[in-house]
Amino acid sequence: MFKFSVSVHCDNPNMAGSRSHLISLFIVLGVIHGTQSYKQLKHTYQEAKQRWNYVQVRQNAHMFWWLYYTTASTNYQSKPLVLWLQGGPGGSSTGFGNFGEIGPLDVNQNPRRTTWLSKVSLLFIDNPVGAGFSYVTDDSAYTTNNDMIAADLLTVLMAFLKELPDFRTIPFFIFCESYGGKMTAGFSLALQKAIIARQIDCNFKGFALGDSWISPWDSTFTWGPYLKATSLIDEHGLQLINGSVVVARKAYDNGKYGLATDEWGKTQEILESLTGGVNFYNILQWNSQEDTKHSYKKYKEQSIFERLVHRNLAHLSSDSLDQLMNGPIRKKLGIIPRNVTWGGQSDKVFEHLKEDFMKPVVNVVDELLRMSNLSVNIYTGQLDLIVDTLGTEAWVQKLTWPYLHQFNTAKRKPLLDPLKKNPIAFVKQYKNLGFYWILDAGHMVPADAGEAALMMLDMVTS
């Protein structure tokens, strides 16, 4: 057994003053899947200094953040800071994003070979309030739209930079996934405006939208064509799916936004039935028929929206992750209120955003491109269904950015596997807009294609 000591400083808002914690991480000898064994990996694994805290963003609303200092250099100020925002809405950045995708350790507490910490410092915020370890003490404090989410994130970032002023001058980027992309767009606009108004001192450089819920209708209308092109449905199935999407869109156009979300959930159920339970997050994977039958039997008494919430949040909280976060991690952090359970309010987060769920934010991305020189990047997993590449490409073409034609005709370049020399991604760039097609990846790009994601991170932040 190898022992790594990690020095962690934490300000506890529930105590007077602050205290320092010395955390000992025990890594058990084992094998890491990939090109490196544990024996090889342990030589590159470095101690990570960490900070965490709560911020009260509004009355009855408390948000949790967790910072990891980069292991790429002893001088963390020489490397960028990346904020990671999870999707859902209601997924946890400190949980799934950290231990499931890009943090230094995986859910089993083994070192991650493709951790982003090897390139940048990482900031995880459980967002919106109610996700992860963030919590509300009254239901009225949940967010109901993207503007509220952006305002809360701005409050957290202001508090973070006040507590750790060294990060004010460090290049700051936002990366995200799924519904986290919708929140990233809104937050980026709010942050950029706050910087212009000199309300915050932040070296904001850009953002990257990963398989992001920017245009729900472009994503959903392309489900059928994508599934038919990949032999997962036939022409009749295509008509059934398209017909269901039309019903959902009609409700939306009539201003019945909550009903539109329900009808979208019905479309998901039709799709699952037609494909034999294809996984919405990777079309080469299936939910087992037994699991699907068990799920419908267990949740058949629930409303269509309750089933929708379960379907779209369950993958972000496995039993092993739940045990880790509510066990060893909770104990390590030492500041989580006794009545707060990691993930305990996630369903409520989604419920309060039901009316906002299907509203697009293409105009927000467009405004950011037009008003700033921020680096705007989009990345999409080849095998993702819920936010498929076809839909992402479709909303990009709706931008009114004056350089869209030049972007469309720019040459697409392959990114090559350093060992096999075959393409693992493609990228197109013009001025401050970049688009990354990540091969052999579903919705969770960093988890499915770690090497390609790390390469993309390096290109965006360098």
Length of the chain: 462
Of the candidates 121, 346, 356, 443, the residue annotated as catalytic is 443
219, containing H or E segment: helix 216-221
- CB distance 72 to 119 below 8 Å: yes
366 as an active site residue: the answer is: no
Q: Is 384 a catalytic residue?
A: yes
Residue 212 token pair: 């992001």
Across the strands, what pairs with 429? 434
Q: Encode 231-248: b = buried (16+ Cβ within 10 Å), e = exposed.
A: ebbeeebbebbeebbeeb
In angstroms, how far apart are the furthest CA atoms of the chain? Answer: 66
Contact criterion met (CB below 8 Å) for 107 and 320: yes
Tokens of 196: 């212009």
CA gap 441, 423 in Å, rounded: 13
Choose the catalytic residue: 126, 384, 388, 448: 384
Beta bridge partners of 426: 414, 437
Residue 32's CB: how many other CB atoms inside 10 A?
A: 17
For residue 100, which amino acid is it?
A: G
At 130 the three-state DSSP class reads coil
- Does an H or E element contain 220, and which? helix 216-221
As given in the structure block, the two tokens for residue 448 are: 């499915």
Phi/psi for 332 (5° steps) reads -60, -45
Question: For residue 423, what are the β-bridge partners?
Answer: 416
- Among 456, 353, 457, smallest CA distance to 414 is for 456
121 is a catalytic site residue: no
Q: Which amino acid type is present at position 159?
A: A
List helix spans (H) across 230-334: 235-253, 257-275, 289-299, 304-313, 319-324, 330-333
Give the C-alpha distances (Å, rounded to integers) separating 89 from 45, 125, 155, 383, 415.
Answer: 32, 13, 19, 21, 31
Which residue in the list 93, 134, 178, 212 is annotated as catalytic? 178
Catalytic residues: 178, 384, 443
